[in-house]
């Protein structure tokens, strides 16, 4: 299948925000309740690798739900690791074969085209989260969103997310994994709207 969209613009925006984070901002709060910049950066490291493996299909049958929260260590090389993993993620999803069939990430199986959309969603919303935490407002957090349903009409299963609902101040984006319900099948993307305040990473993990 030909790639439906390219992750590079969103990945580049996230890389720019990560590069602007100072050491003394690591303890700053983010729009995810009880979640610091440090916690969210650790989550970004995990998700970028998880969705790269989803593209290559190497995670099928062995992926696990993401570990999130203060107990997840942030590697000392995060400033170089995140950009490198973002680039690897972008390249992996540029392979047409990445978009074929089913794949897996975070213990969840879904059509590859849906997983690619989840990856885009994760990058965009966490770019916004981190930008707000350090006082930025990147315009790139307002992209043109692809459909979250595949050509057969099958919609997304429950997402392996750290922050599953959005802040009331978040960018207006169509319903996607950030606003999905807790049911295995959510409704198709709808009109742009605001999202509700999000629970903490730890609370989401406890109910996932």
* Residue range 70-97, pLDDT digits in tens: 778 999 999 999 999 999 999 999 999 9
Quick one: tokens of 207? 């109910």
What 3 state SS string does 79-119 have? HHHHHHHHHHHHHHHCCHHHHCCEEEECCEEEEHHHHHHHH
| pLDDT tens readout for residues 6-59 | 999 999 999 999 999 999 999 999 998 889 999 999 999 999 999 999 999 998
Mean pLDDT for all residues in the chain: 74
- Does the structure show a pLDDT above 60 at 200? no
208 or 108: which carries more pLDDT confidence?
Answer: 108
Number of Cβ within 10 Å of residue 66's Cβ equals 21
Judge contact between 103 and 109, C-beta under 8 A.
Answer: yes
- Does the structure show a pLDDT above 70 at 123? yes
- Tokens 């074929």, residue? 100
Prediction pTM value: 0.72
Angle at 13 between CA 166 and CA 180, to 5 degrees: 25
Average of per-residue pLDDT across 157-161: 39
Average of per-residue pLDDT across 100-124: 95
Task: List all residues 6 or more positions away from 43 whose beta carbon is below 8 Å from its beta carbon.
Answer: 66, 68, 72, 126, 162, 201
Quick one: tokens of 121? 């969603």
The residues facing 108 across adjacent strands are 105
183 or 115: which carries more pLDDT confidence?
Answer: 115
């Amino acid at each position: 299948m030909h790639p439906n969209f390219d992750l590079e613009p969103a990945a580049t925006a996230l890389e720019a925000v990560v590069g602007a984070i100072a050491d003394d901002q690591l303890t700053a709060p983010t729009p995810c309740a009880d979640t610091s910049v440090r916690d969210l950066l650790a989550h970004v490291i995990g998700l970028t690798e998880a969705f790269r493996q989803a593209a290559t299909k190497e995670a099928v049958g062995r992926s696990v739900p993401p570990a999130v929260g203060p107990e997840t260590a942030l590697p000392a090389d995060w400033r170089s690791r995140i950009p490198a993993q973002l680039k690897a993620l972008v390249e992996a999803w540029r392979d047409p074969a990445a978009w074929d069939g089913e794949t897996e990430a975070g213990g969840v199986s879904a059509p590859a085209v849906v997983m690619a959309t989840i990856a885009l969603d994760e990058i965009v919303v966490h770019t916004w989260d981190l930008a707000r935490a350090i006082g930025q407002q990147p315009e790139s957090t307002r992209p043109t969103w692809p459909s979250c349903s595949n050509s057969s009409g099958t919609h997304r299963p429950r997402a392996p997310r750290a922050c599953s609902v959005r802040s009331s101040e978040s960018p207006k984006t169509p319903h996607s994994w950030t606003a999905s319900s807790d049911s295995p099948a959510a409704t198709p993307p709808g009109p742009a709207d605001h999202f509700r305040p999000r629970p903490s990473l730890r609370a989401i993990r406890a109910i996932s």
